[in-house]
Amino acid sequence: MSEKSYYTEEGFKKLKEELEQLKSVERPKASQAIADARDKGDLSENAEYDAAKEAQGMLEMKIAKMEALVSSARIIDESQIDTSKVLVLSSVKLKNQANGMQMKYTLVAESEANLKTGKISVTSPIGKGLLGKSVGDIAEIKVPNGVLKMEILEITRE
């Protein structure tokens, strides 16, 4: 049994759309590439055919992996999120104790993480360090170059 992964409604929709794209567009393209290469003659010395077969194998592996993700995915009802402590889909305003810098992150599933938009994975060191903490707590987060001390200023749901 694969591990459950949690998604927002939007994140789950994107995952399913990507899987559908792979199945309905990319899979036929891979089959066509194999057919085109096969038409070029002797298969024992046909590098194009070998490459097309390998690409198809990689595509099928990706499809299988995404199907497993979809089947183990759980959609989180954002209205039911407790804002008294940091959970998945919590938006957390933090203050770095070392330099006083403030930042805001939203904790999301690994596949939805995007640092540019302030979304970090719950499986990242910062995400793991924040989970379960409440406003006023100091989270000590182990990072490659030491320990970050982050004060939790605010927890919201966006």
For 111-145, the pLDDT digits (tens) are 788 889 999 988 888 889 998 898 999 999 888 88
Answer yes or no: is pLDDT of 43 > 60.
yes
pLDDT value for 80: 66
Is 0.75 surpassed by the pTM of this model?
no
Lowest pLDDT segment from 31-35, 38-42, 88-92: 38-42
β-strand pairing of 90-96 with 73-75:
unpaired
Q: Are 81 and 100 in contact (CB under 8 A)?
A: no
Counting beta carbons within 10 angstroms of the beta carbon of residue 114, is it exposed (0 to 12), middle (13 to 18) or buried (19 or more)?
A: exposed
How large a percentage of the chain has pLDDT more than 90? 31
Q: Are 122 and 88 in contact (CB under 8 A)?
A: yes
Answer yes or no: is pLDDT of 42 > 90.
no
Lowest pLDDT segment from 9-13, 28-32, 40-44, 54-58: 40-44
Mean pLDDT of the chain: 86
Neighbours of 97 (CB within 10 A): 14
